Amino acid sequence: MNVIELERWKPSAADPRDPRKLEYAGQPTAQEVFEELKHRLASMGYLPDEYFLMDSHWENGRKIPKDADIFCTTDYGGSEGVYLDVYLKWYDENQKKSITKSFITGKTLGENGNDLDRMFLISSAITKAFHGDHATHGRYMKIGGVEDDTGGAVVHLSQQEQKVIIEALVEQRERQEQAMSQAEQLLRRMTGSITEYVNTVGMRPLRMSGYDKTILAIQDGELSAFKDLYPQTLKDHADDLLIEAAGRPGTVGRKMTLLLLADVEQFSEPTYCAACQRAININDPEKVTFLLEQAESHVPKLSPSFHGEMASYAYLDHRFIATEIIKQCSEEQIAVAPSRLLEQFAADHDHRTLSALVEKGISGGSSAWRTLHMLTYEGRDSWIAEDLLEKRMWVETGDYGALHACVQNDAVDVCKLLLDGGIDFDVYQQWAKNHPCDGHEKTMQALEDHWSEIQTKMAQVPAQENGGMTFG
């Protein structure tokens, strides 16, 4: 398996046909590197049993520093458990010094010698994931996989010893194959898919279809095997393959996704939506961007709000990706985006993203009153609401609930902008009779005065006669 790269390289523009000639293509995001590593450890059964978390410093699209290297430390915790710490080390040209920064922390619940040994094996797996396995080493295997086993042992197997065990197990499996055939069929039927089979049973089935092998090639990140296998399975399984490849972290997952999009002209919208969501879930902004760029050409009659819906989905756990989607979207795409996007980013008081949404033409829709309520509550961010309304009137002129929310928060200046934008104060007062608003008399008086000024100005504008029609 290829190493996880801490730098990106691409074929040389001067000689793109020579695979040996590469040129620097920038740095990957820390989240991308983390997701790829986490995926590899999970596929090996090597994730620490309590947690494996990336340091918050590296969130929100922060990139791996140039020329960074990675190393691990493993030790007992101060009070309980065994800890694995992964660090990044690089030389900062601006500060003219070497920087070491925590990247990932893992913890296991156990705290005996076996747990320490296993954590060191995980540390070794992480080191080899980035630096490669430069020689063919014997693997380490834990004898007995019982969860409550505290007296197990970790042994080293030479290449010859490993071969002897493998051959013996294969022979045993072949002898049992016929007897296990019916049981395996039932397991396949009950689990439903190759992925669930592997996850539930903990081993690969005795017999695998071409589709099964393709799915496993995606999960294992075996690009060459995938290239050989997927063309034979496209006819019946293109949708499943796209979703699986989109959820595969790292460069390999991107290449697999690209191959599928190049060979399949059309996907259903639910399939394409699931693929985009899988790419969002693994925090891969590059893959998400590519998928959204290709959406209209691969999905017949794509819903106009598709891009906005993906931004709203990303907001829940991957706000950095949500903001990137919004930046990428055209005015036409934002104009039909779900209005809850305003509400979501208002909860974060994200002025920059809110401004981008309003400038690109989003409608406040049914979320307008909640958006304004969050921005005007206790007056903390009323200035944001004022700025957004000065840019463009994004509240429907018949949305008296939006005006009411601002009245209840005594956001007088925001209310005035809503009246300037076309909300009829006289009609609002009639509406408000069924929506009591006691304790805000000063605000209501200020709005009555402002409304009178608006009416006076309108009356002073001379009517213009034109063909029997009057324009005011």
Domain boundaries, given as residue ranges, for the chain? 9-144, 162-198, 205-471
Q: What does the pLDDT read at residue 142?
A: 47
Burial tier of 317 (Cβ tally within 10 Å: 0-12, 13-18, 19+): exposed
Q: Say how far apart CA 233 and CA 227 lie, in whole Å.
A: 11
* 3-state secondary structure string across the chain: CCCCCCCCEEECCCCCCCCCCEEECCCCEHHHHHHHHHHHHHHHCCCCCCEEEECHHHCCCCECCCCCEEEEEEEECCCCCEEEEEEEEEEECCCCEEEEEEEEEEEECCCCHHHHHHHHHHHHHHHHHHHCCCCCCCCEEECCCCCCCCCCCEEECCHHHHHHHHHHHHHHHHHHHHHHHHHHHHHHHHHCCHHHHHHHHCCCCCCCCHHHHHHHHHHHCCHHHHHHHHHHCHHHHHHHHHHHHHCCCHHHHHHHHHHHHHHCCCCCHHHHHHHHHHHHHCCCHHHHHHHHHHHHHHCCCCCCCHHHHHHHHHHCCCHHHHHHHHHHCCHHHHHCCCCHHHHHHHHCCCHHHHHHHHHCCCCCHHHHHHHHHHHHHHHCCHHHHHHHHHHCCCCCCCCHHHHHHHHHCCCHHHHHHHHHCCCCHHHHHHHHCCCCCCCCHHHHHHHHHHHHHHHHHHHHCCCEEECCEEEC
Question: Residue 178 has what pLDDT?
Answer: 58
The reported pLDDT for the residue numbered 465 is 47
CB 103 within 8 A of CB 30: yes
Residue 369: Cβ within 10 Å count: 20
How many residues in total does the chain contain?
472
pLDDT for the residue numbered 188? 59
Angle at 304 between CA 303 and CA 309, to 5 degrees: 80
**Would you say 242 and 262 are in contact if contact means Cβ atoms under 8 Å apart?**
no
Residue 374: per-residue pLDDT: 94
pLDDT of residue 11: 81
Tokens 């669930």 identify what position? 196
pLDDT in the model for residue 189 = 60
CATH number of 205-471: 1.25.40
Low-confidence ranges of the chain (pLDDT < 70): 1, 19, 134-158, 176-207, 461-472
Closest CA to 282 of 246, 308, 316: 246
Rama region for 83: left / alpha / beta (φ>0; ψ in -120 to 50; rest): beta
